[in-house]
């Protein structure tokens, strides 16, 4: 380890949850409800499943390294050119490509306190310095983030909505920010939960690309499209930025099952709509349940809610686990009294709320 680069030595590994089967064995329960990773409770569109089955015949072949068909479909859907798109093995892969292409030792990347854990991770992996800016009411303080941009800043990460807080930035606030970021600083606008948001003042990052050549918008098939396990995400930017990212990308970073599934999933607009409505109803159900328990929560537009346990959250998390409900402790995000719960099916949300009521007594 002494020989690893200085940033890597400071890295804390991302903490994935235990496999469900392992937990069920440990706890002696068989019907665990997993509301821990902001996954889709419905899974992917049946069209994506059948696309995966047909590609299985061909897995002795390398995938299409250019992702030609998926990029064409995305370009049409998003109103951009295929040459503006970078495909990644999950959007985390795109975040890492950006860091690798832009950051060298001593550079800085700015992001918000309580923002997505992968920003400091990819920054440190390049031996660059993560600069976490204090949040405002759990959300991004974009003015403070502008102030934090210095000579060594190469990247600013903005999550809209943010995970794990579920907070969001309005069109006017985002535009004010984008207009003020120095043009030689890359803005990464992470829209992993874009498709869930129903607020009319919520901005579509894609429509800002033309005016801001230093912008990269990232999205994913892991959330509303229900394809977390296949790993498929993408970035959209200027052609020049996409060209750089495609240079550092591994030739076959996206597998053939994921490419086909994503393309088919994109085509199923009804399924997307159904998922969005299910989530909106579920958000209201969980929010109301938390209110009834007199718990404060952060209003969320994603597929999850962070709530304040009013005490240290870890024992509450562990007690919920014994009830067969997995949620996510977020002490690592500087929120030791909060837990984050993903929105599930109505009956799963109910099981969570009932378990929480029992646990809190």
| 289 vs 265: CA distance, rounded Å | 32
CB 28 → ligand PMP: shortest distance, Å?
29
CB of 125 or CB of 355, closer to ligand PMP: 125
Tokens coding 347? 């009956």
Q: Measuring CA to CA, how many Å separate 190 from each of 9, 163, 230, 252, 270?
A: 26, 10, 19, 23, 24
CA 209, CA 215: separation in Å to the nearest integer?
A: 6
Q: Does 282 bind ligand PMP (CB under 6 A)?
A: no
Q: Which of residues 232-251 bind ligand PMP (CB under 6 A)?
A: 233
Which one of 112, 163, 165, 214 is in contact with ligand PMP (CB under 6 A)? 163
- Report the SS3 class of residue 219: strand
Cβ 197 to ligand PMP shortest distance, Å: 13
Out of 86, 92, 123, 238, name the contact with ligand PMP by CB under 6 A: 92
Contact between 153 and ligand PMP per CB under 6 A: no
- Which tokens belong to 271? 């399924």
Q: How far is the CB of 30 from ligand PMP (least distance, A)?
A: 27
Q: How far apart are CA 295 and CA 114, in angstroms?
A: 20
Taking the complex as a whole, the smallest distance from the CB of residue 325 to ligand PMP amounts, in Å, to 19
Which residue of this chain has its Cβ atom nearest to ligand PMP in the complex? 90
> Is residue 228 a contact point for ligand PMP (CB under 6 A)?
yes
Exposure letters 290-313 (e unless 16+ CB within 10 A, then b): beeeeeebbebbbbbbbbebeeeb
**38 contacts ligand PMP (rule: CB under 6 A):** yes
Question: By CB under 6 A, how many residues form the interface with ligand PMP?
Answer: 13
The answer to the question of residue 116 lying near ligand PMP (CB under 6 A) is: yes
- Report which secondary-structure segment, H or E, holds 180: helix 171-180
Answer yes or no whether residue 91 interacts with ligand PMP by CB under 6 A. yes
Q: CB-wise, 214 or 220, nearer to ligand PMP?
A: 220
CA distances from 232 to 92, 164, 320, 349 (A): 9, 20, 31, 27
Q: Which residues contact 233 (CB under 8 A, 6 or more apart)?
A: 87, 88, 89, 90, 91, 92, 93, 94, 192, 218, 219, 220, 221, 222
Taking the complex as a whole, how short is the minimal distance between the CB of residue 88 and ligand PMP, in angstroms? 7
Q: Which is nearer to ligand PMP, 102 or 116 (CB)?
A: 116
Q: Check residue 192 for interaction with ligand PMP (CB under 6 A).
A: yes
Binding site for ligand PMP (CB under 6 A): 38, 90-92, 116, 159, 163, 190, 192, 220, 222, 228, 233
């Amino acid at each position: 380890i002494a020989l690893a680069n200085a940033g890597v030595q400071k890295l804390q590994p991302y903490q994935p949850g235990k496999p469900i089967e392992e937990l069920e064995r440990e706890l002696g329960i068989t019907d665990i409800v997993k509301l821990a990773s902001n996954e889709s409770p419905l899974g992917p569109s049946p069209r994506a499943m059948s696309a995966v089955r047909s590609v299985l015949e061909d897995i002795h072949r390398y995938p299409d390294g250019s992702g030609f068909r998926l990029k064409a479909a995305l370009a049409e859907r998003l109103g951009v050119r295929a040459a503006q798109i970078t495909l990644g093995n999950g959007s985390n892969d795109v975040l890492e490509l950006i860091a690798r292409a832009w950051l060298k030792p001593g550079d800085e990347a700015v992001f918000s306190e309580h923002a997505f854990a992968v920003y400091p991770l990819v920054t440190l992996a390049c031996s660059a310095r993560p600069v976490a800016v204090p949040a405002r009411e759990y959300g991004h303080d974009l003015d403070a983030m502008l102030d934090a941009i210095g000579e060594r800043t190469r990247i600013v990460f903005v999550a809209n909505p943010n995970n794990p807080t579920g907070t969001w930035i309005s069109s006017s606030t985002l535009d004010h920010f984008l207009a003020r970021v120095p043009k030689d600083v890359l803005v990464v606008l992470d829209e992993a939960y874009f498709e869930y948001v129903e607020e009319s003042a919520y901005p579509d990052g894609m429509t800002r690309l033309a005016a801001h050549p230093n912008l990269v918008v990232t999205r994913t098939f892991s959330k509303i499209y229900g394809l977390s396990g296949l790993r498929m995400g993408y970035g959209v930017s200027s052609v020049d930025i996409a060209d750089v990212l495609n240079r550092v990308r591994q030739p076959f970073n996206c597998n053939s099952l994921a490419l086909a599934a994503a393309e088919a999933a994109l085509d199923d607009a009804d399924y997307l709509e159904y998922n969005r409505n299910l989530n909106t109803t579920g958000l209201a159900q969980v929010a109301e349940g938390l209110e009834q328990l007199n718990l404060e929560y952060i209003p969320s537009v994603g597929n999850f809610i962070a709530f304040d346990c009013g005490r240290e959250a870890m024992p509450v998390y562990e007690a919920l686990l014994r009830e067969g409900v997995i949620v996510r402790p977020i002490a690592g995000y500087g929120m030791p009294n909060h837990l984050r719960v993903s929105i599930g099916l109505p009956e799963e949300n109910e099981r969570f709320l009932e378990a929480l009521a029992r646990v809190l007594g």
